[in-house]
Amino acid sequence: MRGILDRKGEQFAYVQGNILYTLADEPTGHIEGEFILDLAGNRRWRIVGDGIYSLDGAETIGFFSAERPSNYDI
């Protein structure tokens, strides 16, 4: 699992596998190649390294956190 952090460093979503979830654990999209798509399959954001940007690259949306276990009981 990787968190998605906004530009201020606050987590607003997370990715498990290739599915994007809200902090309320609701699926909101998925990763396909270098893009994050919404549930309808429309490209929403571009992924470059650990950064997440608007499709034209003009605006930074946020960043992926480091990988962490999804089960903290381990």
Is 73 part of any domain?
A: no
Question: Total domain count for the chain?
Answer: 1
What pLDDT does 71 receive? 66
pTM, 2 dp: 0.86
Is 16 part of any domain?
A: yes
Closest CA to 35 of 16, 56, 21: 56
What pLDDT does 69 receive? 78
Is 11 part of any domain?
A: yes
Q: In whole angstroms, give the CA distance from residue 70 to residue 51.
A: 21
Give the domain CATH number at 15. 2.40.220
Is 69 part of any domain?
A: no
Closest CA to 6 of 65, 69, 70: 65
Closest CA to 18 of 34, 5, 42, 7: 34
- Residue range of the domain that includes 59: 2-64
* Ordered per-residue pLDDT tens for the chain, 74 residues: 999 999 999 999 999 999 999 999 999 999 999 999 999 999 999 999 999 999 999 999 999 999 887 665 44
Is 72 part of any domain?
A: no
